[in-house]
Amino acid sequence: MIPSLRGMLRGLLTRGTEGRRRRHAIHKTAPVPGAAVAIVFFATGTLCFVFLGPLRSPPTPTTTSSSGKAAATACDATRGEWVHDPSLRPHYTNATCGFIQDYQNCMKHGKPSLEFLQWKWRPDAADAGCGELMERFDAARFFRAVRGRSILFVGDSLASSHVLSLVCTLSELETPTKRHSTGFEQWWFEAHDFAVSFFWTPFQIRWRLTSDGPESTAPGPARQGEVFAGPSDLHLDEPDERWMSAAKEHDYVVLSASHWFRRPAVYYRGGHVVGCHGCSAKDADNVTGTELSPEHAQRVAFRTVLRALARGEHGFEGTAVLRTVAPTHYEKGGWFDGGECPSTRPLGRDRTAEMVEPEAGFYRAQVEEFRAAAKEARRSGGAVRLRLMDVTGMMLRRPDGHPGRYGHGPGQHDGFDVDCLHWCLPGPIDVWNELLLQILDG
């Protein structure tokens, strides 16, 4: 541990702990609807511009809203660079927040250097009037913006990491009460009348394991290895009703998740098979369609979900936020074939940052489908607001922020020794909370 950081971490959380109230805001005694689904360790995740070709250092994006005007944020913070600040201290640690899970807990598992915690994101000052550095997350300001409201995160384990980052950061002012309700996790901040909920789904559309019966739902934790191996049936034109029907109970819904679309799957439209990806010989015998790419499936899935929200289906009248894909940083291999992420510092402006396929395709699809859904929302004149939170460019430059070999203890997670997809907590993804605050308080 960096000596100057160690002392500061010991006393990190010594600080002491009226917006409108929507009729759908979750109260501490209110149950959250949905069907049972477990959070799976192996679930993997994931301003507005079209990029045609391999993703390198992204061009200047624009923050877009459903009104077609620039979003009312302090600045467009998506283009910039990471700058070193040795005095920077995290809002929380594994000693002050008990919600961090093992695969995120780089401090517990002995990551050799904590320098990855000492970098600030500096937006380009020329973009929409940004200052020299992005304003540090202010939990009190966040609570003022969301008092009497609730937010639902929908996605995979990267979405879960964002939830825990936010919850741990807000714990500076109030430690929440955690509870579960039929597939949802929820953290209730009673003193601030605010609830954070999370629903795990790696696709956001209706899905099930191909090997399951027709009435089965997403499998529980005892079958997590089977879920990861797949294949799955994906109904590309049907949102997952388990979370979509609960969206109306929340003021904000944050969507993400892309990486699972790389897994083998059989694709459906209108209840009929239209193709597959990575089909085995046995699966192929039952598939009458053609081989479809993961990028195509992900694009159609986001189109389905975003437009359903934009139309206010199931009574949703709040703000929907799409977080873009967070890239992996494997070198010389992948998850199970010797890949590593040995970098100890962010990439500077002097180094070209590249994102490989299919992640670059996932990113293009997210941005393009967001634009199309925002256009539909404007045309319908409904109450739903759409916001795009682009984290791709800034996270592309943080190969140092993954657990690597320090997301588990010796001998644990056999066959998954190096994690260059998830992120350490605390870590670089804490900046996502600053972007989220800009959107919600804009």
Structure tokens at 324: 């873009």
- pLDDT tier at 363 (50, 70, 90 boundaries)? very high
CA diameter of the chain = 63
Structure tokens at 397: 């430059």
3-class secondary-structure state, position 283 = helix
Q: Which amino acid type is present at position 200?
A: W
Q: Which residue has the tokens 């003022």?
A: 144
Helices (H), 69-156: 139-146
Give the pLDDT score at 287. 63
Q: What is the C-alpha to C-alpha distance for residues 219 and 210, in angstroms, rounded to an integer?
A: 12
Give the pLDDT score at 388. 95
Residue 363 near residue 393, CB atoms below 8 Å: no
18 alpha carbon, distance to own chain's centre: 28
Structure tokens at 270: 């209108």
Structure tokens at 224: 């997590």
Q: Which carries the bigger pLDDT value, residue 326 or residue 411? A: 326
Counting residues of the chain whose pLDDT is more than 70, the rounded percentage is: 71
Q: Quick one: average pLDDT of 244-269?
A: 93
Maximum mean pLDDT: which of 108-117, 177-186, 247-256, 400-409: 247-256
- The b/e string for 195-221 (b: 16+ C-beta within 10 A; e otherwise) is bbbbbbbbbbbbbbbbeeeeeebbbee
- Looking at the DSSP bridge assignments, the partners of residue 189 are 194
Q: Does the pTM of the predicted model rise above 0.85?
A: no
Does the structure show a pLDDT above 50 at 13? no
Kind and range of the H or E element at 299? helix 294-310
Secondary structure, 3-state, 114-135: CHHHCEEEEECCCCCCCCCCCC
137 alpha carbon, distance to own chain's centre: 18
Terminal-residue alpha carbon distance, the chain = 38
For residue 202, whether the previous peptide bond is cis, meaning omega lies within 30 degrees of 0, is: no
What are the tens digits of pLDDT across the range 14-50? Answer: 333 333 334 334 433 333 343 333 333 333 333 332 2
Structure tokens at 34: 């949905």
Residue 15 near residue 357, CB atoms below 8 Å: no
Alpha carbon distances (Å) from 6 to 89, 93, 113, 129, 346: 10, 11, 11, 36, 22
Least confident of 179-193, 241-255, 413-427: 413-427
Catalytic residue list: 157, 419, 422
Q: Which carries the bigger pLDDT value, residue 39 or residue 414? A: 414
Q: What is the C-alpha to C-alpha distance for residues 121 and 134, in angstroms, rounded to an integer?
A: 6
Provide the mean pLDDT of the chain: 79
Who's near 258: CB < 8 A, 6+ residues apart? 45, 46, 298, 325, 359, 362, 366
